[in-house]
Amino acid sequence: MLNALEVFTTVIVGLMVGVEFSVAFVMNRIFNALPEDSGQLGRAHGGRMLGAVMPVWYIGSLVLVAVWAFAGWSHDGAGLVVTAGGLLILSVIMSILLLVPINNRSKTWTPDNRPADWKQQTNRWDRFHYVRVAVIVAAFALLVAALA
């Protein structure tokens, strides 16, 4: 049963990492290359869509890692799982304090109502997101290592 939990958790976290990596290095570059206001509108839509899904995914991943750490406490790799859980906690804190406030504003922006500094706010979100992606990639790598 523990093996199934380990694999399931690793897959769920890995998929989350893939989505966030894609946002950072694929989707945002596509949006930035679109003409006129299309990119900003695309980012706003993405913020609404992923803003509804990602909190559940982040918290669900953290819960799965916590269950794995508890259930596998006496097994090899428990320290790696606990460290991965700590990194996921850091990613949730970063999200709540740094990324969500910007996302909550930007997901309502249109070309008619966006603030004058919208590009600076978007760039700030991107920088925070790059750090968050690095944190969750590290958490995922630790989970993979714990499987070995």
Q: Which two tokens stand for residue 48?
A: 């609404």
Q: How far is 3 from 110, CA to CA, in rounded Å?
A: 47
Mean pLDDT, the chain, integer: 96
* pLDDT of 98 higher than 90: yes
CA torsion 135-136-142-146 (nearest 10°) is 160
Among all chains, which residue has been given the structure tokens 């803003």?
51
User: What is the tens place of the pLDDT at every residue in 40-82?
Assistant: 999 999 999 999 999 999 999 999 999 999 999 989 899 999 9
Q: For residue 66, give the H/E element and its range.
A: helix 38-71
Q: Is pTM, for the whole model, over 0.85?
A: yes
Q: For residue 14, give the H/E element and its range.
A: helix 2-22
User: What is the tens place of the pLDDT at every residue in 17-33?
Assistant: 999 999 999 999 999 99
Q: How far is 68 from 62, CA to CA, in rounded Å?
A: 10
Question: 24, 27, 31: which is closest to 99 by C-alpha?
Answer: 24
The pLDDT value recorded for residue 1 is: 87
Q: How far is 128 from 138, CA to CA, in rounded Å?
A: 16
